[in-house]
Structure 1
Amino acid sequence: MPPNRKTVEKARKFRRALTPPEVILWQWMRGRPQGLKFRRQHPLGFYVLDFYYAAARIAIEVDGAVHDDPRQMAHDAQRDAWIAAQGVRIIRIRAADVLADLDAVARHILDRCAFPLHQPSAGPPPHAAHGEEL
């Protein structure tokens, strides 16, 4: 589902108002670690993803203390279910972890992005192009 105009405007606003942990993570991501290209504050449907790795359809969400509130947790679960239904996997990172140990967070993100599970295939198997039987 493509984003609507309101969501795109919200994403632009969010890009100008990153939280300190998001700024730290973005400074690392914008260097394209291991050749991976991340997007920040990426609109998807009615939602804005903190960071997005399009090649593997992975969202990286940086969660502050507000995400520990039961009402916010219920909202996050609904949001995550919708995002997952769009074929996007979510990695949730605690903001405190970014501040405490960026290297460990970076390794975790790279591990998840380098070998994504359930990545759709790029097309038919090679034998199909040659008319070979299995």
Structure 2
Amino acid sequence: MSPSLNSPKALSRARQLRNTITEGEKRLWRELREFKKLYGIHVRRQTPIGPYVADFAIQSAKLVIEVDGEHHFTPSGMTGDEKRDAWLASAGYSVIRFNTGELADSFDFCIEKILGELGLMR
């Protein structure tokens, strides 16, 4: 599949995921929505990219931000993430991953890491 095409399955999954957001994702989304006002950067939530759905994506910077829960740390979850990250890299995207604990314990660090990846200072 071409990196620019979104699969119908990914579109359907994105719609479903928008309705089941975790507390960490809610907090991150509140902050990332402000990026438009503060930096002129549009962030999309639960957006399809090819066959995958990114938790958050900044299309202009080709940056995907993922929030990983427990299932990402199982052998099958890690294998799936490696495959997904490789596909996204082949489409020109960089991926930043945070686990839910990092969002809870080091939220400001997570935001700083995103801003650093974008070449912005806070």
| RMSD between superposed Cα atoms in Å | 1.3
Unmatched tracts of structure 2, length 5 or more: none
Moved over 3 A (4+): none
1:101 corresponds in structure 2 to 106
- Determine the C-alpha separation between the residues in 1 that align with 2:111 and 2:90: 26
Q: Secondary structure at the match of 2:118?
A: helix
- Determine the C-alpha separation between the residues in 1 that align with 2:22 and 2:97: 15
2:10 corresponds in structure 1 to 7
Q: Secondary structure at the match of 1:96?
A: helix
The question of 1:65 aligning with 2:65 is answered no
Q: Percent same amino acid at aligned positions?
A: 35
Unmatched tracts of structure 1, length 5 or more: 116-134
1:22 corresponds in structure 2 to 25
What are the residue-to-residue correspondences of 1:1-134 with 2, within 5 Å? Answer: 1=3, 2-32=5-35, 33-114=38-119
Q: Any idea what the Cα deviations from partners look like across 1:82-109, whole Å, max 9, x if unmatched? A: 1111111111111111111211111111
Aligned residues: 115
1:68 Cα deviation after fit: 1.3
